Structure 1
Amino acid sequence: MNRLKWWIVGAFLLVILMALSYTSILNSAGSNPERASVAETRTLSVDHKQKDIPVFFNKQGEKEDEDVETKLKEQANQILEVLADQNFKKLATFVHEEKELLYSPYVNVSESDLVFQPSEVGAFKQDTEKYIWGVESGSGYPIKLTPVEYHKEYVYQADYLNPDEVTFDRTKNRGNMVNNIKEFFPKAHIVEFYKEGQEEMDWSSLYVVFEQNKQGEWKLVALVNDEWTI
């Protein structure tokens, strides 16, 4: 019986000592900032990771831009294949439904340039009307051609499927005419196919211009020719 009594007393004292020890640890953490810093450091490390998240999203944004460039270069190549075959019905499927398709014989784009609906583009082979597409550089004579003739002389006038250079959103002047494509189409992406000539001034470029439609698809809004001008 005495052993049982001493065992109970010993257990009670052990519980009291453990309680006092735990209270002492808590008080020490509250008064000693170095010990409290363990919990605070964990909190700060979590906050730091959260602040790094926007940087991750910025990198994703850059990757998306790279994907757009790759996609539009591929799409522009498909359009070149269609132009080389004069498959205007297929070309019409690339044209922006609302903004339609603008043709400019030179890189200084203007409101006076001709614009065609997708259905009109699809019927170019059957269209024998001679339109005035602009005026010739130097002579000032009107560029009066049928759609098929214009494509031969001012759109697919070189082997752009085998270009000497392909650029994306580059609008620096190659010749002496001001390139205002980006100002005229501020929301556009532009793929340029450049072809060197046999002589210094015998070069040409075709700019394929894309803008998004309401569905977020990149559609063709302009085909712009560039060449040496006087």
Structure 2
Amino acid sequence: MKKTVIVCVLTLILGLLIGIYIDELPCEKTDTALQATMVPEQQDMLSAADVLPSVSPSDDVSEYNPDKSTSLLKVACDALEYIKAGDYESLAEMIHPVDGVIFVPYSTVNLSGNLRFSAKEIASLDTDTAKYTWGITNGEGKPIELTMAEYFKTYVFNADYTQAPMIGINQILQYGNSLENVEEIFPDADFVEFHFPGLQEEYDGYDWCSLKLVFEMYNSQPKIVAIIHSQWTI
């Protein structure tokens, strides 16, 4: 037992110096021990998720807080479970009470163009029959005119992200043609990305998709300020 603890500590220290990556970590497994695996190289698409903040040998490792990362991952997974269950009242309690939440259909955050909803509006999501214009469809250039419930099915929970095989904290796992600017728009926030490198084998990764939950602190609690959908685009 003592030997195992020593090995784990040494592995964590080594991982902090060269980066730790985790693969195949659906939300159901977050309460179990995290098993880190080193990725030999990254090609066009990252093959595993960095679930810890990026750390280089020159960084002050003493500033790294593993408890914060674990806690944030747990909160993000709870949010996904509420979305999956259609429990929007519980989800609303996780929304920033002052800033509300911004919805982004294709990666690029536009504070003046993306729709923002309050926690109260999220709580009644499934009864809101109004159609909103969320943006423009990629490729076609047509307005995305959907109710809130329809948008959630198409651009939030288009896949069961509680089973996402790759999860990253403050790490963008896949880039497409759309600008990934979450770190620029929310410099003081943390985000968790849930990623599918592909949904159907025959599409050879061209149907990859991700969902980012962006959190800012409010009264010492992480609150969702943005929900960002990403996918392969032409």
Same fold (TM over 0.5): yes
Q: Determine the C-alpha separation between the residues in 2 that align with 1:202 and 1:208.
A: 20
Question: Aligned partners of 1:97 and 1:212: how far apart in 2?
Answer: 11
Give 1:189 shift.
0.4
Deviations 1:147-202 (A, max 9, x none): 00000000000011111200010136521211001111111101000012212211
2:73 pairs with 1:73: yes
Query: One-letter code of the match for 1:224?
Result: I
Map 1:43-192 → 2, pairs under 5 A: 61-62=63-64, 65-111=65-111, 112-171=113-172, 173-192=174-193
CA contact (8 A) 1:171 1:182 kept: no
Distance 2:132 2:61 in 1: 48
User: 3-state DSSP class of the match of 2:75?
Assistant: helix
Structure 1 residue 223 and structure 2 residue 227: aligned? Answer: yes
**1:106 CA drift (Å):** 1.1
Instruction: Give yes or no for contact 1:131–1:146 (8 Å, CA) kept in 2.
Output: yes
Instruction: Output the CA distance in 1 between the equivalents of 2:70 and 2:214.
Output: 14
Residue 211 of structure 1 corresponds to 216
Q: Which has the higher contact order (CA 8 A, sep 6+)?
A: 2
Work out the CA distance in 1 between the residues paired with 2:181 and 2:61: 30
Say if 1:102 and 1:114, in contact at 8 Å, map to a contact too.
yes
Q: TM-score, normalised by structure 2?
A: 0.70
Q: Which runs of 5+ in 1 are unaligned?
A: 1-57
Asked if the contact 1:95/1:220 (under 8 Å) is kept, the reply is yes
Q: CA deviation at 1:60?
A: 5.3
Aligned pair count reads 170
* 1:13-39 per-position Cα deviation (integer Å, ceiling 9, x unaligned): xxxxxxxxxxxxxxxxxxxxxxxxxxx
Q: Which runs of 4+ in 1 moved over 6 A?
A: none
State the SS of the aligned residue for 2:135.
strand
1:61 CA drift (Å): 3.2
TM-score (norm 1): 0.71
- 2:102 maps to a residue whose letter is L
Check conservation: 1:100, 1:118, Cα contact below 8 A.
Answer: yes
Counterpart residue identity of residue 146, structure 2:
L
CA distance in 1, matches of 2:176, 2:129: 32
Percent identity between matched residues is 35
Q: Specify the structure having the higher radius of gyration (Cα).
A: 1
Q: Distance in 2 between matches of 1:159 and 1:92?
A: 20
SS at match of 2:162: coil
Once the 2 structures are TM-superposed, how far is the Cα of residue 59 of structure 1 from its aligned partner? 5.9
**Is the 2:170–2:192 Cα contact (8 Å) retained in structure 1?**
yes
User: What's the secondary structure of 1:225's corresponding residue?
Assistant: strand
User: What is the rounded CA distance, in whole Å, between the counterparts of 2:92 and 2:230 in structure 1?
Assistant: 22
Could you tell me how far apart the structure 2 residues matched to 1:83 and 1:76 are? Answer: 11
Between Structure 1 and Structure 2, the one with more helix by share is 1
